[in-house]
Amino acid sequence: MSLKDIIKPKFLSGNDRDACTCATRHLFNFSRMWGIAVFLTLLVALVPLISMTLIHYKMTQDAVESEVHNHTMLLVNNTWRSVSRFFDERKNELELVANDYTYEDLINPNKLANILINIRKSHDAFIDLGVINSSGIQVNYAGPYTLIDKDYSSQESFQNALKHGFYISDLILGFRDIPHVVFLMRCAMADGSFSLLRATLDIKPINEMLAEVDIRGSGDVFLVNNKGVLQTSSRYHGDIFDKVSQPFFDKVSQSLSDYSFEIQVVDCKNFKGEMIVVGYGNIPDTPFILMTVQQKTELMDRWQKTRVRLFWFLLVSITLIIMVVLGMGTYLVNKIYIADNARVRSLHKAEYSNRLASIGRLAAGVAHEINNPLAIINEKAGLIKDMFTYQDMYSKDKKLIALVDSIISSVERCGTITKRLLGFARHMEPSIQSMNLREVIEEVLSFMEKEAEYRSFTIELDIPDDIPEIKSDRGKVQQIFLNLVNNSFAAMQDGGRLSIVVRHEDKDYVSATVTDNGCGISDTDMKHIFEPFFSTKLKKGGTGLGLSITCDLVQEIGAKINLQSVVGCGTSFKIDLPINLDKERK
Return the pLDDT at 275.
Answer: 87
pLDDT bracket for residue 430 (50, 70, 90)? low
Q: Give the residue with greater pLDDT, 376 vs 573.
A: 573
Return the pLDDT at 568.
Answer: 86
Question: Are the C-beta atoms of 425 and 439 separated by less than 8 Å?
Answer: no
Return the pLDDT at 311.
Answer: 87
Rounded to whole angstroms, how far apart are CA atoms 288 and 227? 10
- What residue spans of 8-29 are helical by DSSP H? 15-19
User: Do 222 and 180 have their domain in common?
Assistant: no
User: Do 502 and 574 have their domain in common?
Assistant: yes
CATH of the domain at 219: 3.30.450.20
Give the best-scoring range by mean pLDDT among 123-137, 264-278, 430-444: 123-137
Give residue-wise pLDDT tens across range 263-293: 888 888 887 888 889 999 889 888 999 999 9
Count the Cβ atoms, other than its own, within 10 Å of residue 110. 9
Return the pLDDT at 123.
Answer: 82
Average pLDDT over residues 11-29: 50
Q: Report yes or no on 455 lying in a domain.
A: yes
User: Do 255 and 361 have their domain in common?
Assistant: no
Rounded to whole angstroms, how far apart are CA atoms 152 and 157? 8
User: Do 270 and 235 have their domain in common?
Assistant: yes
Per the prediction, the chain carries an average pLDDT of 81
- What residue spans of 101-245 are helical by DSSP H? 103-106, 109-122, 156-164, 204-211
User: Do 516 and 574 have their domain in common?
Assistant: yes
Q: Report yes or no on 282 lying in a domain.
A: yes
Q: Report yes or no on 541 lying in a domain.
A: yes
User: Do 523 and 451 have their domain in common?
Assistant: yes
Average pLDDT over residues 410-436: 66
Q: Report yes or no on 40 lying in a domain.
A: no
Q: Report yes or no on 65 lying in a domain.
A: no
User: Do 295 and 380 have their domain in common?
Assistant: no
Long-range residue pairs from 503-509, CB within 8 A, at least 24 positions apart, any chain = 503/464, 503/467, 504/464, 504/466, 504/467, 504/468, 506/576, 507/579, 508/578, 508/579, 508/580, 508/584, 509/560, 509/576, 509/577, 509/578, 509/579
- Which of 202, 222, 245 is where one domain is finished? 202
Rounded to whole angstroms, how far apart are CA atoms 377 and 115? 161
Give residue-wise pLDDT tens across range 143-166: 988 888 899 888 888 888 888 889
Q: Mind giving me the DSSP string for 434-498?
A: EE-HHHHHHHHHHHHHHHHHHTT-EEEEE--TTPPPEEEEHHHHHHHHHHHHHHHHHHSPTT-EE
- Which of 202, 218, 249 is where one domain is finished? 202
Question: Are the C-beta atoms of 195 and 131 separated by less than 8 Å?
Answer: yes
User: Do 448 and 577 have their domain in common?
Assistant: yes
Q: Supply the DSSP symbol for 134.
A: T
Residues found in the chain: 586
pLDDT at 585 over 80: no
Q: Report yes or no on 542 lying in a domain.
A: yes
Average pLDDT over residues 327-356: 75
CATH of the domain at 569: 3.30.565.10
User: Do 447 and 463 have their domain in common?
Assistant: yes
Residue range of the domain that includes 510: 354-585
Q: Report yes or no on 77 lying in a domain.
A: no
User: Do 111 and 163 have their domain in common?
Assistant: yes
User: Do 488 and 395 have their domain in common?
Assistant: yes
Return the pLDDT at 21.
Answer: 37
Count of structural domains within the chain: 3
Nearest to 544 by CA among 19, 26, 30, 28: 19
pLDDT bracket for residue 17 (50, 70, 90)? very low
Q: Mutual orientation of helices 398-426 and 301-390 as an angle, nearest 10°?
A: 140
Average pLDDT over residues 443-464: 86
User: Do 512 and 369 have their domain in common?
Assistant: yes
pLDDT bracket for residue 420 (50, 70, 90)? low
Q: Mind giving me the DSSP string for 363-417?
A: HHHHHHHHHHHHHHHHHHHHHHHHHHHHSHHHHT-HHHHHHHHHHHHHHHHHHHH
Q: Report yes or no on 96 lying in a domain.
A: no
Residue 220, SS3 per DSSP: strand
The half-sphere exposure of 242 on its side-chain side, counting CA atoms within 13 A, is 13
Rounded to whole angstroms, how far apart are CA atoms 342 and 310? 47
pLDDT bracket for residue 24 (50, 70, 90)? very low
Question: Are the C-beta atoms of 111 and 104 separated by less than 8 Å?
Answer: no
Lowest mean pLDDT across 10-14, 87-91, 308-312, 395-399: 10-14
pLDDT at 15 over 50: no
pLDDT bracket for residue 23 (50, 70, 90)? very low
- Which of 202, 228, 261 is where one domain is finished? 202
